[in-house]
A and B are shown apart, each in its own frame.
Chain A
Amino acid sequence: MFPTALSLKIFTLGLQNTFVYRWNFLMRLCMSFIPLLGLVYFWGAVYEGRGGVSINGYSYGEMIFYFLLVNLTQALTMPLDDEWQIANEIRDGQLSQHLLKPFNYMGYRILLFVSNRMVYTLIALGPTTLIFLYFHRYLSTPHEPMTWLYTALALVLTATLQFLISYIIALFAFWILEVSTLVFIYFSLEYLFAGHLFPLDIMPRWMYAIIQWTPFPYQLFFPIAVFRERLSPHEMLTGFLIQCLWIGVLFLCARGLWRRGLHKYTAVGG
């Protein structure tokens, strides 16, 4: 797609830019542990009410481990400022200068996204390790060595999906002034159906069966479920297929929106 030298250049540029915001990142990260505090005690009370009986195979410890993995997966795959940056570039007309350069804008954003995630993960490493150590008695690793490989694959696909969704929402800036409402509305759905609030496989079965076909589980829940070996081989294969299908569909959407948006952008003279 890009010559290697150019890719490296953009990539390091992204690293440097992101590094400037390391304190903000660190602060945000520490803040994101506050809700965890609530979850720990809330679920503690829930399990106490049940006399410690596990919920659909989740014991209390496994539930806490689930939420720790949610935090980790988010650090690894969730775009942070990317959608705002893209939307701002479109709205303020800074996009023009990128259009003149001989590279593909989406590719450029992907490189920035990846470097962004790397810096964030690096910063998150310290605090996350501490939190994991604190809860060490709830942690466990997969039985099957292959699971590590599947998890890695699921994480890469999750990050891709996350990026595409952010990118598509940001592209609406071609047509509307403020994309923030769209971002938050989508995120509220994601919050519920991607597994931020509870593991999806404890919701009513019929509901889970429907949700499975939406992109939401593949933005967060799926890689965790793979890692925790909660899926049968058949379920896992279906999951990967649906995840790839969504990536394909959204990629085409992104391309189409980009073309139309650009057409409008250049028509009004940016």
Chain B
Amino acid sequence: MQRYLDIYRILLRNSLIREMNFAANFWLWLVCEALWFVAQVALIEVVFLYTDSVAGWDKWQVVMLYGTHHLASQIFQAVCFVNLVNVPELIRTGKMDFLMLQPINAQFAASTKQFGFDNLVNAFLGLAFVVFACYKLSFIPSSAQVVLYLLAVALAVVIHYSLTTLLVTVSFWIVRAQGAVYAYYNFMNLARYPDAVFGTAPAAVKFLLTLVFPVLLVANVPTRLLNDITSGPALWMSACLLVISAVWIFSFSVFFWNLGMKNYTSASS
């Protein structure tokens, strides 16, 4: 464990050095991510010109939801995203060999190489929107709510990670598979809608989006925990769902990754 922390410390240091060498790139990506986020928030602005609530959520609650989603997804992107996206390339070029020869867990090595500091800044932007939404709702969360919120965001990050890992692991079998990034963004597009809007959706769709690909939990549950939109059993129920789906999808992604590795070592040429 200590060794992994040491390794991570050096990876962070290296990423920082690299980031400073490409400062222009850092700023451009920062602006880029922020613009996407602002575009999403603009949608809320427009929609709430015409209505006061969407499926029982009012404007600033939806802003809080968007901010939360941005927070979780940007933390994930800061820690792992670029590295995971690079996995198909590692497999195609055979550089995966180097990772597998090192005396550390290959999944860890493949997930953590580079840290995105621009994403970290963006995570704070998301957080700022959450805080601002609280202010607009004149609502001060209790410390218990804050703690639960942060824990739920951490679980959301795990779900982001696991989903992306599942998507890129496919390239162990289909080397030419592209579009894992594309699939990730399209799935996560659903995450920023209030879950209640899917109230009228068929049960199969709800099941798919909460338990199989738990995109409806990653932003909704933390937001619900922070701001009591629901309370009582329903709230704890959704919190439980988040824990269960995070555990299962993470375990499955590790299993799937190992399966991919096995395939790599038994079949590649």
Q: Is chain B in direct contact with chain A in the complex (CB below 8 A)?
A: yes
Which residues of A does B touch, CB under 8 Å?
A: 24, 27-28, 31-32, 34-35, 37-38, 41-42, 44-46, 48-50, 55, 178, 181-182, 184-185, 188-189, 191-192, 197-198, 202-204
> B50 to A45, Cβ gap below 8 A?
no
Known: A35-B190, A41-B201. A197 touches B42 (CB 8 A): yes
A178 CB, min distance to chain B CBs, angstroms: 7
> A197 to B190, Cβ gap below 8 A?
no
> A45 to B36, Cβ gap below 8 A?
no
The total of interchain contacts (Cβ-Cβ below 8 angstroms) comes to 91
Chain B contact residues, majority secondary structure = helix
> B183 to A31, Cβ gap below 8 A?
yes
B77 CB, min distance to chain A CBs, angstroms: 13
Q: How far is the CA of A44 from the CA of B201 in the complex (A)?
A: 10
Q: How far is the CA of A189 from the CA of B36 in the complex (A)?
A: 8
Residues 34-57 of B contacting A (Cβ, < 8 Å):
35-36, 38-40, 42-43, 46-47, 49-55
Choose one: B35, B52, B193; the contact of A42 (CB below 8 Å): B193
Known: A184-B32, A188-B39, A192-B39. A202 touches B54 (CB 8 A): no
> A203 to B46, Cβ gap below 8 A?
yes
Q: How far is the CA of A130 from the CA of B32 in the complex (A)?
A: 35
Which of B1-9, B23-31, B97-105, B143-151 lines the interface with chain A? B23-31
Q: How far is the CA of A48 from the CA of B194 in the complex (A)?
A: 14
Q: How far is the CA of A240 from the CA of B53 in the complex (A)?
A: 37
> A34 to B187, Cβ gap below 8 A?
yes
> A45 to B197, Cβ gap below 8 A?
yes
Residues 203-217 of B contacting A (Cβ, < 8 Å):
205
> B54 to A49, Cβ gap below 8 A?
yes
> A55 to B179, Cβ gap below 8 A?
no
A134 CB, min distance to chain B CBs, angstroms: 13
Choose one: A46, A185, A192, A197; the contact of B31 (CB below 8 Å): A185
Look across to chain A and name the residue whose beta carbon is closest to the beta carbon of B36. A188
Q: How far is the CA of A184 from the CA of B182 in the complex (A)?
A: 13
> A185 to B186, Cβ gap below 8 A?
no
Q: Which residues of the other chain, A, contact B205 by a CB distance below 8 angstroms?
A: 37
Look across to chain A and name the residue whose beta carbon is closest to the beta carbon of B194. A45
Cβ of B178 within 8 Å of any chain A Cβ, yes or no, is yes
Q: How far is the CA of A34 from the CA of B256 in the complex (A)?
A: 23
Known: A35-B189, A181-B25. A46 touches B54 (CB 8 A): yes
Q: How far is the CA of A28 from the CA of B182 in the complex (A)?
A: 7
Choose one: A28, A181, A197; the contact of B32 (CB below 8 Å): A181
Residues 161-180 of B contacting A (Cβ, < 8 Å):
176-179
> A46 to B193, Cβ gap below 8 A?
no
B82 CB, min distance to chain A CBs, angstroms: 12
Q: How far is the CA of A182 from the CA of B32 in the complex (A)?
A: 8
Q: Which residues of the other chain, A, contact B46 by a CB distance below 8 angstroms?
A: 197-198, 202-204
Cβ of B196 within 8 Å of any chain A Cβ, yes or no, is yes
Q: Which residues of the other chain, A, contact B178 by a CB distance below 8 angstroms?
A: 24
Which residues of B does A touch, CB under 8 Å?
A: 25, 28-29, 31-32, 35-36, 38-40, 42-43, 46-47, 49-55, 176-179, 182-183, 186-187, 189-190, 193-194, 196-201, 205
> A198 to B47, Cβ gap below 8 A?
yes
Q: How far is the CA of A21 from the CA of B54 in the complex (A)?
A: 40
Look across to chain B and name the residue whose beta carbon is closest to the beta carbon of A40. B201
Q: Which residues of the other chain, B, contact A34 by a CB distance below 8 angstroms?
A: 186-187, 189-190
Choose one: B29, B42, B196; the contact of A45 (CB below 8 Å): B196
> B179 to A27, Cβ gap below 8 A?
yes
Q: Which residues of the other chain, B, contact A46 by a CB distance below 8 angstroms?
A: 47, 50-51, 54
16 contacts between A and B (CB under 8 A): A24-B179, A27-B179, A35-B186, A37-B190, A41-B200, A42-B54, A42-B197, A45-B54, A45-B199, A46-B54, A181-B32, A185-B35, A197-B39, A197-B40, A197-B43, A202-B49
> B32 to A185, Cβ gap below 8 A?
yes
**8 shortest A-B CB distances, which residue pairs?**
A181-B28, A45-B197, A192-B39, A188-B35, A45-B55, A49-B51, A35-B189, A34-B186
> A38 to B193, Cβ gap below 8 A?
yes
Q: Which residues of the other chain, B, contact A189 by a CB distance below 8 angstroms?
A: 35, 39
> B35 to A50, Cβ gap below 8 A?
no
B54 CB, min distance to chain A CBs, angstroms: 5
Q: How far is the CA of A194 from the CA of B107 in the complex (A)?
A: 40
Q: How far is the CA of A102 from the CA of B219 in the complex (A)?
A: 56
Look across to chain B and name the residue whose beta carbon is closest to the beta carbon of A34. B186
> A38 to B190, Cβ gap below 8 A?
yes
- Given contacts A28-B182, A41-B201, A45-B54, list 13 more A-B pairs with CB under 8 A: A31-B179, A44-B200, A45-B55, A46-B54, A49-B54, A55-B50, A184-B36, A185-B28, A185-B35, A188-B36, A189-B35, A197-B39, A204-B46
Q: How far is the CA of A261 from the CA of B7 in the complex (A)?
A: 43
Look across to chain A and name the residue whose beta carbon is closest to the beta carbon of B187. A34
Q: Which residues of the other chain, B, contact A55 by a CB distance below 8 angstroms?
A: 50
B221 CB, min distance to chain A CBs, angstroms: 17
Q: How far is the CA of A45 from the CA of B199 in the complex (A)?
A: 9
Look across to chain B and name the residue whose beta carbon is closest to the beta carbon of A33. B186
